[in-house]
Every structure is written in structure tokens, then in C-alpha cells.
Amino acid sequence: MIRKCLFPAAGYGTRFLPATKAVPKEMLPVLNKPLLQYGVEEALAANISNMAIVTGRGKRSIEDHFDNAFELETQLKNTPKEHYLKEITDVINNATFTYVRQKQMLGLGDAILSGEPLIGNESFAVILADDLCINEDTNVLSQMLKLYDKYQCSIVAVEEIPINESYKYGVINGKLIKNSNDQYLVNEMVEKPKPENSPGNLGIIGRYILTPDIFQILKQMQVNNKGELQITDALMQQAKIGKVIAYKFKGQRFDCGDIKGYVQATNYFAKSKGII
Ligand code: UTP
């Protein structure tokens, strides 16, 4: 059973400068809700209530957001504006939050390794909050938890990508599992390949289930030539020793780490709520 969800949220968010100079990328709102809250709500809807957040310098507003705001609550109590606080209050009441700081920005693999003290020796989910996912019924994480019950190994969510954008993704190659049309046994995984070197057109998005041996593998790895510890390299080792499943999830994902995806997500939510 998966009890904890890790949120790496220590990155610089350079593509969103100057907005991210003093505001964490994960706190940028789509409509009126910060990206990270969408992620936390997805985990809660998948029956995970323990949120482990990897933060860094300049990210204190994340902790404040998921905490009670006594003054504000007192001011709004018994006024017509009280309902504005309901959504975040529900999240705070239903989840617990633990935090750790990533000491140096050494990439996603290092951010995940920084989360080890919060996770311990158990399998866990990972959500990258800048990948905002939507579904008609079961959310992506819930879909992946069902697969974890079946396979008991690390699982990555993938989507079909235009091959000329392979350099933005970890790209997998795998063997379609018998009697399924959306599950692959991974045999190759390359981080941000050039289109001509890409092993396929299935790109990893920001949803993972990881078994805890990933920490040991990450500890033994060296940073790459960009000074980063890559989670794809660690997953590839898991695939070699045991197995890793890539899952073509049902739903749609917006890359909100990028201005274009962020605008698309905003338009989607504004339309679905009848605002525009
Ligand atoms: P990105 O690759 O989007 O990097 O990280 P970034 O720094 O956030 O954004 P850009 O590329 O500079 O615009 C993917 C996820 O991994 C986290 C980020 O916070 C984001 O959720 N991350 C990345 C860390 O927590 N630590 C790191 O060292 C790198």
C-alpha cells in the first residue's frame, strides 16, 4: 500500500522568471489555485494523505500555504466571504505535510533522494506539480496505484510526444505487456535525447510510483555532465535488475513549467468553469 506522496518543489523555475524570482513556481496559480495544491488534491483523491515536500531557499510560502492562517480565518469567520477559504481548509484538515530542504539544486534525482528521510523504507508516489493532469473520472495517480497493486514495481506515467520534442523528456522504449494496450515493460530509457537518438515517442511525465531501493541506487550514482542526478538513470538500473512499467495514462497533461502549457491549462480551467 502506498501511503506517501513526494513533491519535489525545489527547482529554480527559470523558464518563469521574473515571476519565480521570489515566488516558487509551484505556487503559481492556475485560476485561483496554486499548482502544488492541484497536486496535493490529486494525491488526496487517490487516498494518500501524507504529503512529503522537498523545498529549497525562497520556498517558505509553500509551508505557509498548507498551514492555518489564524488572522485570516478569524477575519472571515461568519462573513459572506468565509467560503473562499473552504477548499484550502479541507486540504489542510485531510492531509499531513512534512518538509525537507534540498541542499543544492542537483536535479530531480537528487531532489527525490533528499526526500528519503520523509519517506523511509516504503514505496511512494511522486508528483511534479508543474505537470497538471486532468481526467474525466479516475485521476492519473489512482490509475497508477492500481497498477502498482498488480506489478509491485516502479511505474512511470508516459504520453505520446512529438518526436521533435524528445529533448524535453525522459523517453522510454519498452515491450507492450500481453493483453494490455497501455502498459510497457521498460527496456530503455534516455534523458532528453536528440530526436535522432530518441528510443521512441513515449515521454515520461511528472507522475511516478517508486520502490524504496531507488534511494540506494541514487546514492551510488554520480552527477552527469550538467551537474544533475537523473531519476531516469536510476530507473533504468531498476529496469535492468528487476522491472519498471511505463503506463500510458488516461487523461490530459499540461506542462505548466512552460509558459505555453501554463496558458493552455489556464484556458482549459477557465472554459470548464464557464469563466470565458
Ligand atoms: P524542472 O526540470 O522543471 O526544473 O524540474 P525547474 O528548475 O523547476 O524549472 P526550469 O527548467 O528552471 O524552468 C522538474 C521538477 O523537479 C523539481 C522542480 O521543482 C520541478 O518540480 N526539481 C528540479 C527539484 O526539486 N530540484 C532540482 O534540483 C531540480
Q: What is the pLDDT along the chain (276 residues), one digit of tens a residue?
A: 999 999 999 999 999 999 999 999 999 999 999 999 999 999 999 999 999 999 998 899 999 999 999 999 999 999 999 999 999 999 999 999 999 999 999 999 999 999 999 999 999 999 999 999 999 899 999 999 999 999 999 999 999 999 999 999 999 999 999 999 999 999 999 999 999 999 999 999 999 999 999 999 999 999 999 999 999 999 999 999 999 999 999 999 999 999 999 999 999 999 999 999
Number of neighbouring beta carbons within 10 Å of residue 63: 12
- Domain boundaries of the chain, sorted by first residue: 4-272
Q: Which of 15, 113, 130 to mutate to test the pocket of ligand 1 (most atoms within 8 A of CB)?
A: 130
DSSP 29-71: EETTEEHHHHHHHHHHHTT--EEEEEE-TT-HHHHHHTS--HH
Q: How far is the CA of 121 from the centre of ligand 1 (A)?
A: 24
CA of 26 to the centre of ligand 1 (A): 10
Tell me which CATH code domain 4-272 carries. Answer: 3.90.550.10
Per-position DSSP letters for 128-152, written without gaps between them: -TTEEEE-SSS-HHHHHHHHHHHH-
